[in-house]
């Protein structure tokens, strides 16, 4: 998660502006300063990732006018030396995040900025993904803005244009069938069948009949002829999920069909020509399985004209809030329920969780959160107690919000240092932290680079 705090400050008094800018800078908050509101509006767009702090009484556009103009999702903190209850109430009705009167304690304003930035991060992270500028509909199917997902979508577009068979590698729940369906929908076969079968779900004695079909009387119970799945997928795409579970005895039969591109039903001598694209999916490394003798090497090379590797969710944590928000909105629409707000702590908990079930687990968690407003088995305190994973054990489960957020920050820093094996440069890039700020935070929490190498 991007942890840089962005703030725009506006005050027509240059001395007050300079003083506020210095206080925020010392608090490691990135600042852009303006002496009038109209100039500031040029950089406050709907995607602005931070907070606006503005004096109320200014010539031209004042703070209240500014508040009416900026995107309502951007937190605006108003400062005035002439305030009162009536003005504060009006500001809050207009959507101000908070209202503070001069003179104020700088530390109070800094805390206010921290909380407002956390709220802004949550709203940005959970916001719906904008339609792709180049009209790429695939971005609405395979959701994510990480480099891994952008590369995946480019790879699918490239492979969809050819008829090569493909193996899709990925852990459980990463969306292998969705990738296969996307390859089909973007191909010249899109107007023909897409047929999916989970190989592991078919009993071994029925696998040949299911895939190849059978003639009436070919075995007990075969009262009429039936086309197999391969014939049903002719001119289209056949998706073979969990291909690694296919019995060795059947693999040679499938290999022959793929080599000859024709299929013979059980109990028949007549072959039917096949024009079908095979997309296989596996959660195992088939090359290693072939070396170990668990999968035919010749079948592996026949199936793997091209391959696609799906990243697990834990390797693209920046996509987690985006997906979680998408799944909550889907579930909210389906159940006619309002989508609840998430706290910053909730967001950190989502990103720190390992997600062994990947996108499927995330979807179920989002649906559960919509109904119960609880993660149940995913919580900040649980994550903070994972000393073996985060190299951290909190001193107490209680404490103020500030203390608990410090624990979360320490857990996040520890997790990233562990993941990147102590590489300061990589942690700086991932968390978008200046070197000085990262060093200060590591010193504050007693984190040493050498402990993570």
Per-residue pLDDT, 399: 52
Same domain, 165 and 216: yes
SS3 for the chain is CCCCEEEEEECCCHHHHHHHHHHHHHCCEEEEEECCHHHHHCCCCCCCCCEEEEECCCCCCCHHHHHHHCCCCCCEEEEECCCCHHHHHHHHHCCCCEEEECCCCHHHHHHHHHHHHHHHHHHHHCCCCCCCCCCCHHHHCCCCCCHHHHHHHHHHHHHHCCCCCEEEECCCCCCHHHHHHHHHHCCCCCCCCEEEEEHHHCCHHHHHHHHHEECCCCCCCCCCCEECHHHHCCCCEEEEECHHHCCHHHHHHHHHHHHHCEEECECCCCEEECCCEEEEEECCCHHHHHHCCCCCHHHHHHHCCEEEECCCHHHCHHHHHHHHHHHHHHHHHHHCCCCCCCCHHHHHHHHHCCCCCHHHHHHHHHHHHHHHCCCCCCCHHHHHCCHHHHCCCCCCCCCCHHHHHHHHHHHHHHHHHHHCCCCHHHHHHHHCCCHHHHHHHHHHHCCCHHHCC
Q: Is residue 132 part of a domain?
A: no
Q: Is residue 133 part of a domain?
A: no
Last residue of one domain, picked from the residues 310, 344, 364: 310
Q: Is residue 251 part of a domain?
A: yes
Same domain, 167 and 63: no
Same domain, 156 and 290: yes
8 A C-beta contact, residue 258 and residue 302 = yes
Q: Is residue 139 part of a domain?
A: no
Q: Is residue 138 part of a domain?
A: no
Per-residue pLDDT, 229: 93
Per-residue pLDDT, 134: 44
Angle among Cα 217, 218, 221 to the nearest 5 degrees reads: 60
Same domain, 154 and 289: yes
Same domain, 384 and 365: yes
Same domain, 115 and 209: no
Same domain, 166 and 302: yes
Q: In this structure, are strands 271-273 and 262-264 parallel, antiparallel, or unpaired?
A: antiparallel
Give the tokens for residue 212: 């190849």
Closest to 412 (Cα-Cα) out of 394, 393, 437, 431: 431
What is the tally of structural domains in the chain?
Answer: 3
Same domain, 16 and 117: yes
Region for residue 235 given its phi and psi (left: phi exceeds 0; alpha: psi -120 to 50; beta: otherwise): left
Per-residue pLDDT, 215: 87
- CA 98 to the chain's CA centroid: 31
Residue 248: which CATH number?
3.40.50.300
Closest to 404 (Cα-Cα) out of 394, 413, 414, 412: 394
Same domain, 192 and 262: yes
Phi, psi of 441 (to 5 degrees): -70, -40
Residue 78: which CATH number?
3.40.50.2300
- Within 8 A by CB and 6+ apart from 314, the residues are 354, 355
Which residue do the tokens 């190849």 mark? Answer: 212
Q: Is residue 86 part of a domain?
A: yes
* Residue 20 CB burial class (10 angstroms; 0-12, 13-18, ≥19): buried
Same domain, 118 and 164: no
Last residue of one domain, picked from the residues 91, 125, 159: 125
Q: Is residue 22 part of a domain?
A: yes
8 A C-beta contact, residue 176 and residue 196 = no
Residue 263 CA to residue 257 CA, distance in Å, equals 6
Q: Is residue 340 part of a domain?
A: yes
Last residue of one domain, picked from the residues 247, 282, 310: 310
Same domain, 387 and 302: no
Per-residue pLDDT of the chain (453 residues; tens, 9 = 90+): 445 678 999 998 888 888 888 888 888 888 999 999 999 998 898 888 889 999 888 888 888 889 899 888 899 998 877 656 677 777 777 888 888 888 888 888 888 888 888 888 888 877 776 655 444 688 888 998 889 999 999 999 999 988 899 999 999 999 999 999 999 999 999 999 999 999 999 998 889 889 998 888 888 777 788 888 999 999 999 999 999 999 999 999 999 999 999 999 988 888 999 999 999 999 999 999 999 999 999 999 999 899 999 999 988 888 998 899 999 999 999 989 998 888 777 887 787 788 999 999 999 999 988 888 877 655 544 444 443 343 333 334 445 555 666 777 777 788 788 778 888 888 888 887 887 788 778 878 888 887 777
Same domain, 108 and 72: yes
Range of the domain at 201: 147-310
Per-residue pLDDT, 85: 65
Give the tokens for residue 350: 């989502």
Per-residue pLDDT, 131: 53
Per-residue pLDDT, 222: 76
């Amino acid at each position: 998660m991007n942890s840089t705090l962005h703030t725009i400050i506006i005050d027509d008094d240059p001395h007050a502006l300079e003083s506020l800018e210095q206080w925020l800078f010392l608090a490691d908050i990135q600042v852009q300063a303006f002496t009038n509101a109209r100039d500031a509006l040029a950089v406050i767009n709907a995607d602005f990732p931070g907070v606006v702090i503005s004096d109320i009484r200014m010539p031209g556009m004042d703070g209240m006018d500014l508040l009416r103009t900026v995107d309502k999702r951007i937190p605006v903190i108003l400062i005035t030396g002439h305030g009162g209850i009536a003005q504060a109430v009006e500001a809050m009705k207009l959507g101000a995040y908070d209202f503070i009167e001069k003179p104020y304690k700088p530390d109070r304003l800094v805390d206010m900025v921290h909380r407002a930035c956390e709220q802004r991060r949550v709203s940005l992270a959970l916001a719906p993904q904008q339609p792709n500028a180049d009209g790429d509909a695939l971005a609405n199917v395979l959701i994510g803005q990480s480099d891994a997902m952008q590369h995946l979508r480019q790879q699918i577009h490239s492979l969809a244009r050819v008829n090569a068979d493909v193996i899709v590698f990925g852990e459980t729940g990463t969306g292998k069938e969705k990738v296969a369906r996307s390859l089909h929908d973007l191909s010249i076969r899109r107007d023909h069948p897409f047929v999916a079968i989970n190989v592991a779900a078919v009993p071994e004695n029925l696998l040949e009949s299911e895939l190849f079909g059978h003639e009436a009387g070919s075995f007990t119970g075969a009262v009429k002829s039936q086309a197999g799945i391969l014939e049903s997928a002719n001119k289209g795409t056949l998706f073979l999920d969990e291909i690694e579970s296919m019995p060795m005895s059947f693999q040679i039969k499938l290999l022959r069909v793929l080599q000859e591109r024709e299929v013979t039903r059980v109990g028949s001598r007549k072959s039917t020509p096949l024009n079908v694209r095979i997309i296989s999916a596996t959660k195992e490394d088939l090359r290693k399985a072939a070396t170990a003798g668990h999968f035919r090497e010749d079948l592996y090379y026949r199936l793997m004209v091209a391959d696609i590797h799906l990243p697990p969710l834990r390797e693209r944590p920046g996509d987690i809030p985006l997906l979680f928000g998408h799944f909550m909105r889907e579930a909210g629409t389906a159940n006619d329920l309002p989508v609840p707000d998430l706290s910053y702590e909730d967001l950190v908990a989502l990103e720190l969780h390992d997600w062994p079930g990947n996108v499927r687990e995330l979807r179920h968690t989002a649906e559960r959160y919509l109904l119960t407003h609880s993660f149940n088995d995913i919580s900040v305190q649980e994550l903070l107690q994972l000393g073996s994973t985060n190299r951290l054990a909190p001193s107490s489960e209680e404490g103020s919000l500030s203390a608990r957020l410090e624990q979360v920050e320490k857990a996040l820093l520890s997790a990233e240092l562990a993941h990147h094996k102590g590489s300061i440069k990589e942690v700086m890039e991932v968390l978008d932290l200046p070197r000085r700020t990262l060093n200060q935070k590591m010193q504050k929490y007693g984190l040493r680079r050498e402990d993570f190498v």
